Chain A
Amino acid sequence: MIQYVGFGIISLLSFGWGLEQSVALKKKNKRLREIVAFVKHIREEINCFARPIGEILSSYDDDIVSANADNIIFSKKQSSTNAYLFDDAKKVLDAFQEKIGEGTKEESLKLCDYTISELEAIAERHEAEYVSKSRLWKTLPLLASLSLTILLL
């Protein structure tokens, strides 16, 4: 009897873990879209008002920039912001935060455009993969634990 309860708990935990991974995937997609919108906002502020980056960041009421200081947009520290970022998006954002503000208006706008297009491409790719990956996360851990149960029984 205890064996069955144990296997039940393992199956449930596996399913829960898979579900959590699926939800995290969804959050990462959402976060990426928010960051694309944020970079677009930076672009507009530079283009229309030439506002210094520090001012832009301090006026943006969102947790995307809550972890930053000294004009660092997306903190390199493991923050709640970074926890929900895809690795390929992180690389693009690291390059962006390193370079933004160092060039002329024209260069800054080009950098924003490049970052936006890269991030949008990443977002589209991940969104396209989301349905299949999400299904996989929801079913694979459960199936694995069930298979293990059957094998052990």
Chain B
Amino acid sequence: MENTAFTRALSYLPAHLADEAVRCAALYGADAEEIRLRLGQHLCLTIAGENVACAALCRKSDLRETFLALCGHSVYAHETTIREGYIAAEGGIRAGICGRAVLDGNRITALSEITSVSIRLPHRVPHAGDEVIRILKKSRFQKNALIYSPPGVGKTTVLREVIYNLPHLRTAVIDTRYELFTEEAPSFMVDVLGGYPRAKGIEIALRTLSPELIVCDEIGNREDADAIREGVRAGVPLLVSAHAGSYEELREREPLRRLLEEGLFPLTVGLLAREGNLYRYEIREANG
């Protein structure tokens, strides 16, 4: 129960599920990284990368109760992100929400029934960002770097650790999904733009914060790519992350392929797998 994020996440669960989660975590002797509730299924925890099924079953009312608690009993306040499939709850906790989509054309207007909730707990992994910091230091933080990995390996964790351990650089962090940091800034040199769309966040950071480094999580679309070009033109190095299983997969994603072909990311760091607190890297560095 040392993990405050886990403790906080438990407060979102109905009492019988919270008790079961505590029991399961105690059995494994480690904190949960994810808590998953699926309608009619057993409560599932991810502990040290392993999925563990608990004894308790998730009922419709449990999902509803958890959903409302995550929203702070104010669904309207999270309407936009719910349509995007997640809720950014307090304490940096992010919950993925699945249900029956109510559509207006191609646009999701609401979720009519919640069928699963996946609560991801922010956690610190000491030294997870050391390798990336070492590479960035070598380039004196002048080169743009892109970190990629498949979902769940730890891009965001690595990015968070890098930000915590950056030397004294004026850093602007675009935390679109409130995943990187909670209420407090990680250091006196870091400005966190929470909830900003990535492109808008980069634009605002460039215009108003005179950053020496811009950090951005999970880029991927054309708009993000355009904003990155703008950032590079302004002479500010960027550290970004993106979903991709390998460098080849990264190049298959159109906006990212273009950025790579244009030579905007001379440094790419792939997190291929995680074993405990150790990562297997694939580092590519263009000359010059």
Contact = CB atoms under 8 A, between A and B. Distances in A.
B15 interface: no
A46 interface: yes
A140 B79 CA distance: 56
B72 interface: yes
Contacts of A102: 68, 73, 75
Interface string A125-145: 000000000000000000000
Contact of A50 (B68, B73, B79, B110): B79
Interface string B139-179: 00000000000000000000000000000000000000000
B74 A52 contact: yes
A14 interface: no
Nearest to B67: A102
Interface stretch (A3-11, A22-30, A103-111): A103-111
Interface residues of B, number: 10
Contact of B79 (A51, A53, A71, A105): A105
Interface string B52-68: 00000000000000001
B188 interface: no
B172 to A, nearest CB: 25
A101 interface: yes
Interface string A43-83: 00010001111100000000000000001000000000000
A37 to B, nearest CB: 21
A104 to B, nearest CB: 6
B246 to A, nearest CB: 41
Nearest to B102: A104
Interface in A101-124: 101-105, 107-108
B75 A104 contact: yes
Nearest to A72: B73
B183 to A, nearest CB: 13
Contacts of A71: 72-73
A108 B72 contact: no
Nearest to A51: B77
A53 B73 CA distance: 7
B81 to A, nearest CB: 11
B77 A52 contact: yes
A69 B113 CA distance: 27
A103 B76 contact: yes
Interface string A25-44: 00000000000000000000
A105 to B, nearest CB: 4
B71 interface: yes
A102 B72 CA distance: 10
Contacts of B77: 50-52
A51 B74 CA distance: 8
27 contacts: A46-B76, A50-B79, A52-B71, A52-B73, A52-B77, A53-B72, A53-B73, A54-B72, A54-B74, A71-B72, A101-B68, A101-B71, A101-B72, A101-B73, A101-B74, A101-B75, A101-B76, A102-B68, A102-B73, A102-B75, A103-B75, A103-B76, A104-B110, A105-B76, A105-B79, A107-B76, A108-B75
Given A101-B71, A105-B79, 10 more contacts: A50-B76, A54-B73, A71-B72, A101-B75, A101-B76, A102-B68, A104-B75, A104-B76, A104-B110, A107-B76
